[in-house]
Amino acid sequence: MSNSERRKFLKSGLALSAFSMLPAFISAQAVTGKTGAEQATPTFPARLIKGDTIAIMGMAGAMRDPKILSGFIQIMEQQGFNVSVGQTVNKTYGYLSGSDEERANEFNDFVANSNVKAILFIKGGWGCGRVLDKIDYPQLKKNPKIILGFSDMTSLLNAIYQKTGLITFHGPVGNSSWEKFSLNSFQDIVCRGGDSFQKPELPQLQLFSTWQNGKATGELIGGNLTVFCSLLGTPYWPSCAGKILFLEETHEEPYRIDRMLNSLRLAGVFDEVSGIIFGQFNDCNAEKPLESFTLEEVVRHQLKGYSFPVIWGAPIGHVKNKWTLPIGVKALMDADGLSVKLMQPAVS
């Protein structure tokens, strides 16, 4: 799905949800980005070991190239995992990989299946937000497992963490590169129970650098900026109080980045977080540069007056080399040393 289409879908979906939830929105002080829901006690899924079964399914956009699936299966099998492929991977329902009911039911079935130790997704796009109210959250609490993805999965990952306390994982999907850097981070965090993240070895779109000095501790929260903002005012919005927020984006012009960061600022998010890690902002340049601020300028505008530490250009997002970040795990970020270290393993 093109980025302009995604924005149209998000805009229409947000408008409908805003009208349908208006009384709850007001009574729960959603104007400040808070829903009033208490954060559930953290639950750590079991680490993956060789011989475990991984489910692959479609939760967002439809897969158009069958080579994506075969390549993904091969990568997972090479790591020693058994693979169970859901029917949604090969379904097409408009721009979605199956109807809302088909995708939600398949996800819930994989959750209930005790033999499945992890659920991974074939690709992003748009669609997770449509099924957040159809997920069996009580079953996830009874049968916790690794849930991993990024981009559109941002809404699902954060909703699950908010509703159940289950640690979820922001990392590659089926059509990601899965080269050495990304694969090593995946293995280290979900298989070995590692606590640190490798600094990027290759040049990136945005330079990995310190934007604001200092150290911060807090649970990791965040993901794709557009999708994360779409949760504002819903029951699936996670508390950002004391959290380390990480954000990434792709194919959005600076004025749109400005608008979304402004929404977070006005919602009080920047008043609550302990630090921010900006990932890669892929192709987020102005169509008319002479009539626009740059990406860096609008970010600095929105952060003006805040003193928390800020890291810029981390390997997170729509790029070849990416970290697997556990949402909900307490971490220490050192902006001066450009390091992020988990204060406990993300898996049991």
Q: Give 141: exposed, middle or buried? Use CB within 10 Å, 0-12, 13-18, 19+.
A: middle
Q: Is the dihedral angle over the CA atoms 18, 270, 249, 152 positive or is it negative?
A: negative
- The secondary structure of 153-189 as a DSSP string is HHHHHHHHHHHH-B-EEE---TTS---HHHHHHHHHH
Q: Which of 17, 97, 151, 176 is catalytic?
A: 151
Q: Which of 219, 248, 249, 252 is catalytic?
A: 248
What CA–CA distance (Å, rounded) separates 220 from 232?
17
With H, G, I as helix, E, B as strand and everything else as coil, classify residue 13.
helix
The secondary structure element, H or E, covering residue 118 is: strand 116-121
Helix residue ranges, H only, the chain: 3-20, 22-27, 66-78, 100-112, 137-142, 153-164, 180-190, 225-229, 254-266, 269-272, 295-303
251 counts as catalytic: no
Burial readout 310-322 (b: 16 or more C-beta within 10 A, e: otherwise): bbbbbbbbbbebb
151 counts as catalytic: yes
Q: Is the dihedral angle over the CA atoms 145, 50, 77, 280 positive or is it negative?
A: positive
With H, G, I as helix, E, B as strand and everything else as coil, classify residue 8.
helix
What CA–CA distance (Å, rounded) separates 185 from 173?
13
Task: Extract the tokens encoding 302.
Answer: 């929105």
Radius of gyration of the chain (CA): 19
348 counts as catalytic: no
Q: Could you give the maximum distance between any two Cα atoms of the chain, in Å?
A: 56
- Residues with a catalytic annotation lie at 151, 248, 318
